[in-house]
Structure 1
Amino acid sequence: MPRFHCPADLSPGAEIDLPAGAARHVQVLRLQPGDAITLFHGGQDGPGGEFDATVLRMGRSDVRVQVGAHHAVEREAPRAVHLLAGITANERMDWLVEKAAELGVASITPLVAERSVLKLKGERADKKIAHWQAVAVAACEQCGRNRVPVVHAAVDLSAWVRAQTQGTGAEAQRLLLSLRAGTQPLHAATAGAGPVLFLSGPEGGLSAGEEDLALQHGFAPVTLGTRVLRAETAPLAALAALTLA
């Protein structure tokens, strides 16, 4: 059954107009009045779950539905993993966000690192964040998640350290993907089943200064093994190991 993100007040029996994006998707699928769909709010807080819904009317640019029964089903990972990931070039960041959402990431903070090819600021940054948030929404619609991970504003590491307000919580274990001496295997460094903040760099990795700054603020250096993974692959490998184990 088609699933659509609908960040509106959902309650059984209510009649609502779908948001523009969901309405366009319904029209592309050529759904008709009487067809059944699934809606989910997607917020990190609130009742969660998903709702049955029935298409009532198809307009030229709008779609009206009636909300049906609520199902308190969740498909979240048992461990909250927050990615602080170096921004990669071209479409690779889109791919990272999409797959991270499918794997159950709790949040993503795009990191403007010293070696990032793509530098974001101002209106361009706002558009990119909105685009990546839409990518996360689409991934959740596809994979069955009812909680959409938040894509935070892009930030450099020094600004993130100063702010310390990226939603990870003070209790999160901090892990840094690193090639320097003294690293531990990821599985050996992970303590318990609590939340994790995983930091990785862009193409070329983090600079020595960025790694030093991370280590000074509680990040433990870890390795994913002997092979060198691409910048968009490494955080996903860590995420899979932490959420699917």
Structure 2
Amino acid sequence: MPPRFFVDLPLAAGASLSLPPGASRHAQVLRLQPGDPVTLFDGSGGDWQAEIAEMGRKVVDVTIGAFEARDPELALAVTLAVGMPANERMDDLVEKATELGVARIQPLMCERSVLRLSGERAEKKREHWQAVAVSACEQSGRTRVPVIEPVRTLAAWLREAVPADARRVVLSTSESPPLPAVPAGAVVALSGPEGGLSPAEEQAARGAGFEPASLGPRVLRADTAPLAALAIWSLGGLTA
């Protein structure tokens, strides 16, 4: 299978272009040569077959060939709103959620959050996580790149930015009904950081229209719980 590269530019058959820096470095590492096939995608759906035209020391030129219409995306648009786990676990969460088909990830700071970001540092982290999502799309065969939203506090997000047209679920460690089936449309799953959401935060989420849901009798880590919910929905493990 040819290597896949994300190109944030409109693509067209017969056109030539230089790969962006990240993709160029990847092509260099793979020791690709003129004439080698590659696959390009621009995030709008489908793949473009292409061929290496020239390998420079820093620039890699390709010629675009035929378009392949395919859609490996989920029918369900899932937004994960997560209290950011510390260390490298947020990187892993973004990578695995992208592989599983997430549409958006909203990083949140909650009362019990260990990782706290603001200003330039928060934006640099968001850009890093967006790059992680792009790389996961290249590897997994996705044709659309999930959006990593700017870091927000939970209170501000509940007040200003929750998608209005989606079903809302808060993953709860208290006694709650099982995770609901969501066969189509859109859903937002809210999950807390290490230590979970505080009682006040969970109550605020319920007041904002979030229904509590349980993933079972065990307490899952902050980076495991949202992935478990996404996996259930992405694999169609529940019925309406």
**TM-score range normalised by the length of the shorter chain:** over 0.9
Give how far 1:192 is off: 4.2
Encode CA deviations 1:161-201: one digit per residue, 9 max, x unaligned.
2222x5x4x221000011224x1100xx3354221100000
Cα distance in 1 for residues equivalent to 2:142 and 2:41? 9
SS of aligned partner of 1:239: helix
Percentage identity across aligned positions?
A: 57
- TM-score under structure 2 normalisation? 0.95
Give the 3 Å change call, closer, same or farther, for CA 191–12 of structure 1 in structure 2.
closer
1:113 maps to amino acid: C
Q: Tell me which residue corresponds to 2:232.
A: 241
1:208 pairs with 2:199: yes
2:195 maps to amino acid: G
1:164-175, aligned counterparts within 5 Å? 164=161, 168=163, 170-175=164-169
Q: Tell me which residue corresponds to 1:140.
A: 137
Q: Tell me which residue corresponds to 1:95.
A: 92
Unaligned runs of 5+ in 2: none
CA contact (8 A) 1:88 1:232 kept: yes
Unaligned runs of 5+ in 1: none
1:15-30, aligned counterparts within 5 Å? 15-30=16-31
Cα distance in 2 for residues equivalent to 1:179 and 1:233? 13
Q: Tell me which residue corresponds to 1:105.
A: 102
CA contact (8 A) 1:83 1:107 kept: yes
1:14 pairs with 2:15: yes
1:31 pairs with 2:28: no
Count how many residue pairs are aligned between Structure 1 and Structure 2. 235
CA contact (8 A) 2:173 2:219 kept: no
SS of aligned partner of 1:33: coil
Cα distance in 2 for residues equivalent to 1:63 and 1:163? 43
Cα distance in 2 for residues equivalent to 1:153 and 1:113? 15
Residue 59 of structure 1, aligned match among 56, 61, 65: 56
Give the 3 Å change call, closer, same or farther, for CA 70–134 of structure 1 in structure 2.
same
Give the 3 Å change call, closer, same or farther, for CA 57–102 of structure 1 in structure 2.
same
Encode CA deviations 1:26-54: one digit per residue, 9 max, x unaligned.
00100000000000002xxx4x2110000
2:3 maps to amino acid: P
Cα distance in 2 for residues equivalent to 1:192 and 1:63? 43
Q: Tell me which residue corresponds to 2:181.
A: 190
Cα distance in 1 for residues equivalent to 2:71 and 2:30? 26
- TM-score under structure 1 normalisation? 0.93
Q: CA RMSD in A?
A: 1.1
Cα distance in 2 for residues equivalent to 1:6 and 1:191? 32
CA contact (8 A) 1:94 1:135 kept: yes
1:27 maps to amino acid: Q
Encode CA deviations 1:82-113: one digit per residue, 9 max, x unaligned.
10011001000100000000000010000111
SS of aligned partner of 2:62: strand
SS of aligned partner of 1:114: coil
